[in-house]
Structures are given as structure tokens and as C-alpha cells.
Amino acid sequence: MKFDADCIFCKIVQKQAPSSIIYEDEQVMAFLDIRPASEGHTLVISKEHYEGILDIPSGLLGRVHQVSKMVAVAAKQALNADGINVIQQNGRAANQEVFHIHVHVIPRHLGQKMKSLQEVQMVDYKQLELIADKLKSFI
């Protein structure tokens, strides 16, 4: 399995960094974003290190998106979301900050303003764990 020792997501996969995991299988992991744009903002990643959509094998990309849908359905139910943003960025010009492929699944409510990158703030892991428990009950 490809692993980048400097990548925070690889460290999360290896359990060398804390995270609030809501789903995990042999290929994919989903965990709450420490800087959420909304309650339940989840990142879905391949466990193997690939920078973006251009280098990940198509089958694995498909699995990442299958899990993204599963997380979106769970978020809609668990958090009574009115909608879901699904975002995947590739490269610095596209505002990718962590160069390990990931999909943002962001629950939304009517009238809710989307926070900019400058507006999002870190959340305490205890708070994330409460949200993770809600989401896990619908996966």
C-alpha cells in the first residue's frame, strides 16, 4: 500500500494521528473534518496514498464515491440535512490543501451560508465524537 509519511491523511489511516472515524473498510476511510464547514462535514479518502483524481485507479475512485454516497445518505438522515454538498478538489489552483485524494461530504440546511476556508475553525474531538456517533448509527 502506498503511504506518504508526511501526509496527515496517511497518518490518520495508520492511526498515528487522531480522527473521528465514521466508516472504514479495506480500501476507504471516512472521518469528520476537524475544520468543518457544517456539522457532520466528512472527508472520504482512499487508504492508499494518491494525490488526486488524475492518479487514483478508476476502481478505487469508484469505491471512494460509493462510500461518499453512503455518508451523504447517513448525514441526511442523522442530521436532518436539506441537502448535501459533495466536493472533490485537485491541485493547488483548485484549493486542494491536503494532497491525498479526498471527497468532502458537507450536510447543508436551507438558508445556511457556506463558510469560506478562512471562516472554518477547528472543533474539539469530543464534539466531533458526538456527531460521529449520530452518523455511524445510520451507516
Would you name the residues annotated as active-site residues? 102
Q: In what order do the strands lie in the sheet with 28-32?
A: 21-24, 28-32, 42-46, 102-108, 83-87
SS3 breakdown of the chain: % helix, strand, coil, rounded to 5? 30, 20, 50
User: Taking Cα atoms as reference points, which of 125, 129, 24, 14 lies closest to residue 70?
Assistant: 24
d(CA 1, CA 86): 26
d(CA 71, CA 40): 10
Q: Between the CA of residue 60 and those of 12, 27, 116, what are the distances in Å?
A: 18, 7, 29
